[in-house]
Amino acid sequence: MTTIDDYTARVLDVVDAIPPGQVMSYGDVAEYVGAGGPRQVGQVMSRYGGGAPWWRVIHADGTPAPGHDAPALAHYLAEGTPLRSAQPAVRVDMRRARWRGDGGAGGAGGAGGAGGAG
């Protein structure tokens, strides 16, 4: 069993809380956790995110992690995630799919704002 630090545990807890059909950018997750940044969240996801719903953490432009378009798209279609493009490059509609951590999606305010880091 691998022991993880507090930051990693907090990031994975946030990722686990993202509802099906919604997403957060790497920067959104960092802002929600209150520490680190998009790159640190990316490192956590790269090392420990295999058991978490990794496809729900994406770049601020709505694209999934490089090389993961096909498996991510399968999850997006199964969950009804709003998409801007289902063709390469797959792109989630961040305005409609972004989870704010408060039970809501889309709209103004909350983590990351319209441009969001990540």
pTM given for the model: 0.84
> 66 lies in a domain?
yes
Most confident of 60-64, 87-91, 102-106: 60-64
> 115 lies in a domain?
no
Alpha-carbon distance of 63 to 74, in angstroms, equals 14
Averaged over 42-63, what is the pLDDT?
A: 96
CATH number for the domain harbouring residue 82: 1.10.10.10
The band of 102, judged by pLDDT with boundaries at 50, 70 and 90, is: confident
> 87 lies in a domain?
yes
**Domain tally for the chain?**
1
Backbone phi, psi, residue 4, to 5°: -115, 155
* Owning domain of residue 21: 6-97
58 pairs with which residues across the strands? 25
| pLDDT at res. 105 | 55
Query: Which pLDDT tens digit goes with each residue over 18-42?
Result: 999 999 999 999 999 999 999 999 9
| Terminal Cα-to-Cα distance of the chain (whole angstroms) | 30
